Amino acid sequence: MSDLAEHVSKEELFHSGHPLCPGCSGGIMMRWITKALGKDTIATIAASCMAIATSVYPSSLAVPCLYIAMAPSPAGIAGVSAALRVMRRKGRFPKDRKVNVMAVAGDGSAGDIGIACLSGAAERNDDGIFFCFDNEAYMNTGIQRSGCTPEMSWTTSTLEGKAERKKDLPRIMAAHDVPYVATACVGFPEDFFKKVVKARDMDPGFKYIHVYSPCPTGWRFPEDKTVEVARLGVETGFWMLYEIDHGFLKLNYDLSKRRPVRDFLQAQGRFSKLSEKHILQYQGIIDERCESMAKEQRCQSLE
Amino acid sequence: MLTGNYACAYGAKLARAEVIPVYPITPQTHIMEKLADFVSHGELDAEFISVESEHTALAVAIAAQATGARTFTATSAQGLVYMHENLFVASGVRLPIVMAVVNRALGAPNSIFPDLSDALDQRDTGWIEIFVENAQEAHDMVVQSYRIAEDERVLLPVIISFEGIIISHYMEPVELMDQDLVDKFLPVYAPKHVLLHPDRIMSVGQILMDDSYYMEYRYQQQEAMDNALKVIPQVDEAFGQVFGRRYGGLFEAEMMDDAEMVLLTAGSLASTSRAVVRALRKEGLKLGLIKLRTFRPFPIQELREIFQNVKCVAVLERDVSIGAGGVIYLEVSHCLYGLKKHPRLIDYILGLGGRDITFEDVSQIARDVYQEREKETLGHSIRWYKVRGLK
């Protein structure tokens, strides 16, 4: 951590005073993103909790920002980067001035209503960084299930727990063969910051960063436990930190020493109805997922 | 000789559209193909983006225009209603995007033939809507539309509409504009009002809490539309001075000086109706023609002045608002309210799904209504013309 503190910019481009809930990991995420990308950035924000912080006057975000609608934030990357390219060619924007083009969308926007738009931007390899702010439900409308809500989780539209599994969005994006796909988590800022910087400094193309973002309001845990719950998510293998750089997979957190998933589940109210049998069942799902990922990394290094 | 679609694409090229996000749909697709061809052969310096949906096409146009580039897109029917949500965004953040809408019936039942309802359905979105009659007008209006849209008194997006197949696919003689003249007529887009630029931190597409300024945003859009009523004829006149072609601005009025009865229509039906008016004038029928060009802003006051002096107006329209009547008829109706002496108004809903409306059809309608013009009582004022199986 001390290493990060020395490197990171002291300038704040995401200011306090925003209306996010106390303990929101989105505020932490926006702060790290803007510190890594700097002032020469243009953002598009989907309808989401983050839109409230960035598009309500006075805005907390100190870079130019466009809000279109729920689905099409990836289209913002296409439009802004295309306009900059043509204006550079025509001499209306300095050729040597780099502008980071980014978009932020929640899991419901990125993975459900906007997945066609996201897939299109990835397939065209539009130039920018897309951040999926994954708090595992439609939180801005009051905690309804999304495709990214994990199995057995309570939401206001899955009162008995979600029956289906979580949609694996980063893997779907990796299947588009984009230059860079990474998962991150607000509980691991050094890893997160490094990944944003890496995406920023790559050649033009589509980069996808999926940010695991615990939500005290929706997940039902105390607002001062956000980082703790975020770390538990990674430490138990519930959420895996990895990157796929030009097709090469690298796990960024050692899965072999993971804690029992019970530690993560029992820290939150949304899993409070889970029986002992459910928890064991969940452990099985997590073990299977982690082993499959570790195997994939091993197979790749043998190639 | 060019099709309406190609004439429109040449218009976008001459207007130097810079970002062109577009998704294929019949009968618009030739516009997309021609623009792709221009860009790939280096004839047009633009970013052509083949997107995965119309919803995204307009979203990309919004983002690009907000970054300072001139954008163009085109669509039809289902594509237009698929992007409907984003139409409000483009006008709400005051982006002068120009979009060609090649009118096509909305499914179901599905048809690639024309019905103006697709564009008319966008009437509340805050876009200027202009209907054109032929390929030449489609060509010229792309350039005129950018000049209207980018005028600082307006700053609203524009839809140019023309009927699928009838105008989009059939070839007509078209005089292409000269690039140097277009460049003088239409300067480079240099927005002062909305711009995403790192040196100017601006949040575009605000979320308003409680009752803060939503009404004022809407009122300013209304003011811009009111201004467009003046700007559209001015641009038409300025265009005429450079290129020698004038279209009449908000509407074209022909033989109206002593007309007792008016045919009011839009799109390709104007060509047929004009021929009918000219022919029946020779027989002594005092007929006039109004070709409605701008549906938004709707020229209420301007039409009222004309209507004071006529006995009867027959609206011929290729569209319908099911449960109410022809969309144009309904708009024309409220122009009559409060006039001391107002004409009878009869609506003909015809030609839906591209059903052919010939010179003879329009002549028959004109004669029928002309005979009725003095009658105290009329039959149905909304008439479905040539519907099979009607008794």
**A contacts of B69 (beta carbons < 8 Å):** 82-83, 86-87
* Residue stretches of chain B with pLDDT short of 50: none
Instruction: Report CA-CA distances (Å) from B303 to B230, B289, B300.
Output: 14, 12, 5
Fold category of B2-243 in CATH: Rossmann fold (3.40.50)
Q: What share of chain A is helix, strand, coil (3-state, %, to 5)?
A: 45, 15, 40
- Per-residue pLDDT, A2: 57
Non-local CB neighbours of B86 within 8 Å, separated by 6+ positions: A68, A69, A72, B55, B58, B59, B62
- Per-residue pLDDT, A247: 95
Q: Per residue in A55-85, pLDDT tens?
A: 998 889 999 999 999 999 999 999 999 999 9
**B contacts of A92 (beta carbons < 8 Å):** 68, 188
Residues of chain B with CATH 3.40.50.920: 251-384
CA A254 to chain centre: 20
Distance of alpha carbon B338 from alpha carbon B316, whole angstroms = 23
**A contacts of B205 (beta carbons < 8 Å):** 55, 66-68
Spatial contact of B27 and B199, defined as CB atoms under 8 Å apart: no
Please name every residue paired with A206 in a beta bridge, in sequence order, or none if there are none.
A128
Q: Per residue in A169-220, pLDDT tens?
A: 999 999 999 999 999 999 999 999 999 999 999 999 999 999 999 999 999 9
- Per-residue pLDDT, B378: 60
Q: Is the pLDDT of residue A282 over 60?
A: yes
Number of domains within chain A? 1
**A contacts of B68 (beta carbons < 8 Å):** 83, 87, 92-93
Instruction: Output the furthest CA–CA distance in chain B (Å, rounded).
Output: 69
Report the gap between the CA of A164 and the closest CA in chain B (Å).
28
Q: Mark yes or no for CB contact A119/B47 under 8 Å.
A: no
Angle, CA A270 vertex, CA A103 and CA A151 arms, to 5°: 70
A124/B contact by beta carbon, under 8 A: yes
- Per-residue pLDDT, B379: 61
pLDDT confidence bin for A236, thresholds 50/70/90: very high
Non-local CB neighbours of B37 within 8 Å, separated by 6+ positions: none
Report the gap between the CA of B139 and the closest CA in chain A (Å).
24
- Per-residue pLDDT, B3: 98
Which domain CATH number covers A154? 3.40.50.970
Q: Mark yes or no for CB contact B64/A123 under 8 Å.
A: no
Q: Is the pLDDT of residue A93 over 90?
A: yes
pLDDT confidence bin for A7, thresholds 50/70/90: confident
Distance of alpha carbon A129 from alpha carbon B88, whole angstroms = 27
Instruction: Report CA-CA distances (Å) from B107 to B55, B117, B322.
Output: 18, 11, 14
Q: What is the DSSP letter of B93?
A: T
| Whether residue B27 has a cis bond before it, omega within 30° of 0 | yes
* Nearest CB to B61; choose among A41, A59, A79: A79
pLDDT confidence bin for A4, thresholds 50/70/90: confident
Residue whose token pair is 């020229």: B299
What range defines the domain where residue A34 resides? 2-302
Segment A128-140 shows an average pLDDT of: 98
Report the gap between the CA of A228 and the closest CA in chain B (Å).
32
Q: Assign domain B251-384 to a CATH class.
A: alpha beta
Residues of chain B with CATH 3.40.50.970: 2-243
Chain A from 28 to 87: CB within 8 A of any B CB: 39-42, 44, 51-52, 54-57, 59, 61-69, 71-72, 74-80, 82-87
- Per-residue pLDDT, A301: 80
Percent of chain A, pLDDT > 70? 99
Whole-angstrom distance between the N-terminal and C-terminal Cα of chain A? Answer: 34
